């Protein structure tokens, strides 16, 4: 879905200039610097889509919390996490030191504007060609 969106962006008369600067298949990114992220859901996304979180920096003691599934995970520098942010409530604690999180995501309104067919749930039989 993301790759199809990028192809359409490249040929779209209004947005084609963006293609030269935007290198991600995700159509949005948020930079979160040195702050707690309260537990939340991402309502501008879709249940079937994965967000990608990565964190870097010289810090310690950060925790990624997924209260709906009862998980509290160490969120060390270099961690990469893919999750369905629309479905799973998630949040990150404060940390000691300097931390930057990059949160990559898809937005329904952007996909709709580009005329891209929405991705659905992944199925093992499609991946394994069964």
Domains of the chain: 26-108 (2.60.120.1520)
- The reported pLDDT for the residue numbered 48 is 84
**Strands (E) located in the chain:** 28-33, 37-40, 51-56, 59-60, 63-66, 71-74, 80-83, 90-92, 96-97, 100-105
Helix (H) or strand (E) holding 9: helix 2-11
| Integer Cα distance of 116 and 100 in angstroms | 31
Higher-pLDDT residue of 113 and 98 is 98
Confidence of residue 65 (pLDDT cuts 50, 70, 90): very high
Q: Are strands 100-105 and 51-56 parallel, antiparallel or unpaired?
A: antiparallel
Confidence of residue 80 (pLDDT cuts 50, 70, 90): very high
Confidence of residue 125 (pLDDT cuts 50, 70, 90): low
Confidence of residue 130 (pLDDT cuts 50, 70, 90): low
pLDDT tops 70 at residue 129: no
- Given phi > 0 = left and psi -120 to 50 = alpha, else beta, which region is 8? alpha
Confidence of residue 14 (pLDDT cuts 50, 70, 90): confident
What is the pLDDT averaged over residues 21-37?
A: 85
pLDDT tops 80 at residue 3: no
Nearest to 33 by CA among 84, 125, 102, 119: 102
**pTM of the full predicted structure?**
0.76
pLDDT tops 60 at residue 90: yes
What is the pLDDT averaged over residues 108-124?
A: 75
Beta bridge partners of 71: 66
């Amino acid at each position: 879905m993301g790759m199809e969106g990028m192809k359409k962006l490249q040929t779209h008369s209004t947005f084609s200039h963006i293609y030269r600067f935007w290198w991600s298949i995700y159509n949005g990114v948020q930079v979160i610097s040195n702050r707690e992220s309260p537990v939340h859901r991402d309502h501008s996304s879709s249940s079937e889509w994965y967000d990608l979180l990565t964190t870097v920096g010289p810090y310690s003691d950060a925790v990624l919390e997924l209260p709906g599934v009862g998980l509290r995970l160490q969120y060390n520098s270099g961690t990469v996490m893919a999750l369905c942010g629309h479905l799973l409530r998630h949040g990150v604690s404060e940390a000691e030191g300097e931390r930057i999180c990059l949160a990559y995501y898809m937005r329904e309104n952007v996909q709709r504007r580009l005329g891209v067919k929405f991705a659905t749930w992944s199925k093992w039989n499609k991946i394994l060609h069964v």
